[in-house]
Structure 1
Amino acid sequence: MKSPALLPFRLVPWLLGGLGLLAAPRTSLGQLAPDQQLAKQAFAELEAASQHDGGKLWGTPLYGPLLLVTADSRRIVANAPDSAGVLHEAAGLYEGELPAAVNVANTAVQWAGRRWAMVQLPLPADPSERVSLLAHESFHRLQPQLQLTSPEADNAHLDEAPARAYLQLELAALRRALLAQSRRSTTAHLRAALAFRAYRRSLYPNATAAENQLELNEGLAEYTGLVLSERPATEAGAYLRQSLLDFPQTPSFVRSFAYQTVPVYGYLLRKRTPDWNRGISNQTDLTNLFTTSLGVAMPRNLASWTASALSRYGGKAILAQEAEREQQRQQQLTAYRRQFVEEPHLIIPLRQLNIAFDPRTAQPLAEAGTIYSTLRVTDSWGILTVEEGALLGPKQDQVSVGYPAAMQARSVTGPGYTLQLNEGWQVVKEADSGNYVLLPVPTQP
């Protein structure tokens, strides 16, 4: 996922093995080091794709300020200078170090006087994957300019067995649509996909708006990456089919489903109406747009049709798998609730947060919030790094981690996390609850 706006709230799934871009030292005699060569190659590939598009996709070129960042060293290679004097010119590139207060993620970020697309290294080895990732994040950079900045909503229902099952049925029908040899057959499978979607949403009152918001944000970004990658039609179809086939192995569908749905609907619609996306706004209902533009007539009796169509798309096996997963999920949620809610733990307020996480691991914990297996948060109080789970509150105003194991003046460690504190903050134990809470140090009168 390339890309949970900052929504700075994301590290995304396309952090695939690749090129090791920023490992080698600079050579002498004006030659480019391997890391600089690869960075220039990536920048050139995106620029060429953007020029070939000519601004047709969104009415403006995708190519613009871009940071490639190595997570451990925080070293930057950029294609443009900043206006704050942080980066220095080197062989036609711009290099520097990302401050600790800025999270390394696949995202868009306002930093050093510019709005940048940021991509964590290494990049994918495949050129099409590489351009797709860079274009995805470049779309996020352009979202304010395009006035497509709808905030994402909670899609916690997509961790429940029925929602997961009917999402997989939608994707199975989409895969059949990609394989279809005639327009009539394609439309029939699209009808099935959209009917499974409608039935899924009928089970959850807030699903329609919540899913649409994520599709507007991440789905359109991923569609942008697909178009800019310029795969031949047969290769693009095969790529999408394989992606749909692999998706059920994703640990959580909550924040990752839109990377699958919008690219496929958009790819099929683009064959009929290449500029279908140009009228989209924050108020667009993408499901209605796809249904109407693809010429799909929905079943009159949705529940009856869904029941009769299950076997055609492997529904019985999917429902059985999800029932088994649900038992395991409930056991895991019980353990998480015990660790982060019922037993004493550390509560950290979020005030001026900048947060990065892997959206593939989002696991809702009902009204308590969402569990993320990995998390990095920077705030006025310092830096929190989590490697073994944390609970982000439902209002994103606090994060809970396990009971502290060791505390010093400027650091706290516990099960799977490290908290580095700025001056003026302290961890205090509450007498009533037994929880620790991060609080400002009281000012002296």
Structure 2
Amino acid sequence: MILLPLPEQALERRVLLLHESWHRIQPSLGLDVQDLPNGHLDKLEGRYWLQLEWRALARALEARGGSRRHWVAAALACRTHRQSLFRDATKTERSLELAEGLAEYTGIHAAGAKSMVLTKLRNATGPFARSFAYVSGPAYGLLLDGVAPGWVRRLRRTTDLSALLQEAYRLPAAGFGDAETAAAGLGGAELRHREVAEEKVRQQRLALVTVPLLKGPILRVPGPFRVQFNPSNTENLDGGSVFHPTATYLGAWGRLEVTGGSLRAADWSETRVSAPADPKANPLTGPGWILELAPGWTLLPIEPAGSFRLVSEKHEK
């Protein structure tokens, strides 16, 4: 499935079509992995060390011989240190890189769009929690192409692309000192200053859009549901909940189109939007959303005042 509209540039269209075509055969390749959350990549330390890793990967792709090996080692040092700071980060990052990173690598490789990788490494601005693999995956893939031909045939559900690259270059395990040295050579001081300022702005922005969805009045929409969203604007919050500025939710209760923000629970049990203007209307509408309600569903008043929960009429009886 491909979400319209398609990219205007022909090369980007080819990459997208090939990316999604890979997803079609992904289960038959034995690479149908979980899409695990990576909210740590939108925290200050996560963002900082991820971008340093990308700076090193960009230099590695441009370099040759011993110089390339040096920058690969720097990238792996930044990655290893970042993952040591957050519980399960190695597992969750690996999962999304296999799911989306390999798909994007396939699209870029097959479309002959390798120049896009450097552009992404240098220009990606986040949020990164759901979008990082579209940048990291192709970068690691192209580096592996140059040093380990046929590497794709070794892929398994537990494969870590960075571990394959470390093995190919026979690099030792990196420590904190290696990461600090790499950071100094990658403009780490300037980047940290910028990211500290960005974090303050981010927290203020998130508070502005999420506090109303936490305090109410709200509409609580229950799972299970499917959701279509833009990974480049998705924000992961502390506790695992996810803020989608725009999204389309599909459930037994109907179709919810969000253009003004929704807050999805970490366990996918519900999503929240602002309270509806008229709880008896169909379609239901509120600030930045519209819900085409399926027959047999109604709104139940809940706390705080003015809030509602979407329930099945059959269940309520």
TM-score range, shorter chain: over 0.9
- What is the CA distance between 1:175 and its match in structure 2? 0.9
- Report the 3-state secondary structure (helix = DSSP H, G, I; strand = E; otherwise coil) of the residue aligned with 1:406: coil
Q: Distance in 1 between matches of 2:146 and 2:180?
A: 31
| Aligned match of 1:321 | 194
Matches within 5 A, 1:111-260: 118=2, 120-126=4-10, 128-180=11-63, 182-231=64-113, 236=114, 238-247=115-124, 249-250=125-126, 252-260=127-135
Matches within 5 A, 1:38-53: none
Distance 1:298 1:124, change over 3 A: farther
Contact kept in structure 2, 1:337 and 1:365, CA below 8 Å: no
- What is the CA distance between 1:336 and its match in structure 2? 3.5
- Report the 3-state secondary structure (helix = DSSP H, G, I; strand = E; otherwise coil) of the residue aligned with 2:87: coil
- Report the 3-state secondary structure (helix = DSSP H, G, I; strand = E; otherwise coil) of the residue aligned with 2:185: helix
Q: Which has the larger radius of gyration?
A: 1
Task: Find the partner of 2:295 among 419, 423, 442.
Answer: 423
| Aligned match of 2:307 | 435
Residues 272-310 of structure 1: CA distance to partner in whole angstroms, max 9, x if unpaired?
Answer: 3321011211122222122102332333xx222222332
Residues 238-275 of structure 1: CA distance to partner in whole angstroms, max 9, x if unpaired?
Answer: 4322221111x23x000111111121121121123321
Contact kept in structure 2, 1:187 and 1:295, CA below 8 Å: no
- Report the 3-state secondary structure (helix = DSSP H, G, I; strand = E; otherwise coil) of the residue aligned with 1:359: coil
Contact kept in structure 2, 1:151 and 1:213, CA below 8 Å: yes
Residues 19-53 of structure 1: CA distance to partner in whole angstroms, max 9, x if unpaired?
Answer: xxxxxxxxxxxxxxxxxxxxxxxxxxxxxxxxxxx
1:383 aligns with 2:266: no
Question: For residue 377 of structure 1, what is the amino acid of its counterpart?
Answer: Y
1:404 aligns with 2:288: no
Matches within 5 A, 1:285-434: 285-299=160-174, 302-351=175-224, 353-367=225-239, 369-431=241-303, 434=306
- What is the CA distance between 1:403 and its match in structure 2? 1.9
- Report the 3-state secondary structure (helix = DSSP H, G, I; strand = E; otherwise coil) of the residue aligned with 2:26: helix
Q: Distance in 1 between matches of 2:243 and 2:97?
A: 22
- What is the CA distance between 1:316 and its match in structure 2? 0.8
Question: For residue 23 of structure 2, what is the amino acid of its counterpart?
Answer: H
Q: Which has the higher helix share?
A: 2
- What is the CA distance between 1:119 and its match in structure 2? 5.1
Matches within 5 A, 1:9-88: none
Contact kept in structure 2, 1:404 and 1:413, CA below 8 Å: yes
The TM-score, its normalising length taken from structure 2, stands at 0.94
Question: For residue 365 of structure 1, what is the amino acid of its counterpart?
Answer: L
Paired residues, what number? 317
CA RMSD of aligned residues (A): 1.9
Contact kept in structure 1, 2:220 and 2:271, CA below 8 Å: yes
Q: Distance in 2 between matches of 1:123 and 1:362?
A: 20
Contact kept in structure 1, 2:210 and 2:243, CA below 8 Å: no
